[in-house]
Amino acid sequence: MRNYNYLKACSTYLVWVALLFSACIYAQQNGNTSNLQNNFWRQVQFGGGLGLGFGSGYTDISVAPSAIYNFNEYAALGVGLQYKYLKQKDFYASNLYGGSVIGLLNPIRSIQLSAELEQLRVNVDLDGSNSNSQNFWNTALFVGVGYRSGIATIGARYNVLSDKNSIYGSAFMPFVRIYF
């Protein structure tokens, strides 16, 4: 009987010690959560593109913000938004908007490989009246390679989904990518 009370007291003591340590461990995890969040935002870079083009009867305005998360010095994944307004006087006006997902690989410091899936909604008004308009989705999958120096990368990309109905004039296009 005496051993039974001793075992019961020891087991009760061990349960309390275990609860105390688990509370301390839990408290340490809560403290690290803010550090994890801070570390997350330290790995995020923001960038994108702005474009303005004007000519005789032609207007091209584009805004494309994006953000990437750097997993390490070799790989990053991000998302972007895009809006573009195009107008050719007396011919058409169009609004393009949508988003993209981009993956970046840096096998060596100065070379950047990329893959980007882009989905855009295209609204085209061909003659200034709503009766002759087109609305459709356009999907593009770009693969690219660029030279990277500091925060900027300059290179070329190719739309592997390009066909005769693509909104882009060419499957091959240059790019400049900047992330801060």
What would the pLDDT profile of 44-90 be if each residue is shown by its tens digit?
999 988 888 888 888 989 999 999 999 999 999 999 999 999 988 88
93 with 160, same domain?
Answer: yes
User: Are 16 and 58 contained in the same domain?
Assistant: no
Is 2's pLDDT higher than 60? no
Q: Are both 84 and 1 inside the same structural domain?
A: no
Closest CA to 148 of 104, 87, 86, 93: 104
What are 15's strand-pairing partners? none
Give the mean pLDDT of 148-162.
94
Do residue 25 and residue 102 come from a single domain? no
- The verdict on 31 and 59 lying in the same domain is no
Residues 71 and 13 in one domain: no
Looking at the structure, tell me whether residues 51 and 116 fall in a common domain: yes
Tell me: do 135 and 173 sit in the same domain: yes
Mean pLDDT, residues 128-148: 88
Where in the sequence is the domain holding 145, given as residue range(s)? 46-178
Q: Backbone dihedral region of 90: left (phi > 0), alpha (psi from -120 to 50 degrees) or beta?
A: left
pLDDT at 142: 96
| pLDDT, position 91 | 84
* Average pLDDT, integer, range 159-174: 88
Judgement on whether residues 11 and 96 belong to the same structural domain of the protein: no
- Looking at the structure, tell me whether residues 67 and 151 fall in a common domain: yes
> Quick one: average pLDDT of 16-31?
45
Query: What is the tally of structural domains in the chain?
Result: 2
Question: Which of 60-74, 107-121, 157-171 shows the lowest mean pLDDT across its residues?
Answer: 157-171
In a shared domain, residues 67 and 15: no
Phi and psi based region of residue 24 (left: phi greater than 0; alpha: psi -120 to 50; beta: remaining): alpha
123 and 136, same domain (yes or no): yes
CATH number of 101's domain: 2.40.160
Query: For residue 28, what pLDDT is reported?
Result: 45
Q: Which of 12, 27, 42 is the C-terminal boundary of a domain?
A: 42
Closest C-alpha to 159, from 147, 143, 148, 174: 143
In DSSP terms, 61 is beta-bridged to: 52, 85
